Amino acid sequence: MSLFEGKKNKNYEIKGLYVEEGITRRLQALGLNDGTIITVLNRKKNGALIIRVRGTRLAIGKHISSGIEVEEVA
């Protein structure tokens, strides 16, 4: 499933990044690598997501979150 489909207050493990190469490199520099656990903190009306990655909050848009493949973890 894509991160965009994720539910608020759930944890997910990143399985793959499928966005443009420049965006992929930037996300990896921010700590979004395969196997990283992230938490969806909030969903905005415009499609943006607020996520927690390794103790840091990030806002990402619909286009980027649709290109991040995740799997729900307990």
CA–CA dist 73, 57 (Å, integer): 19
Number of domains in the chain: 1
Q: 33-53 burial by CB neighbour count: b if 16+ within 10 A, else e?
A: eeebebebeeeeeeeebebeb
What CATH number is associated with residue 8? 2.30.30.90
pLDDT of 26 > 90? The answer is yes
Q: pLDDT grade, residue 34 (50/70/90)?
A: very high
Quote the pLDDT of residue 74: 79
Q: What integer is the mean pLDDT of 28-38?
A: 95
Domain that holds residue 22: 3-73
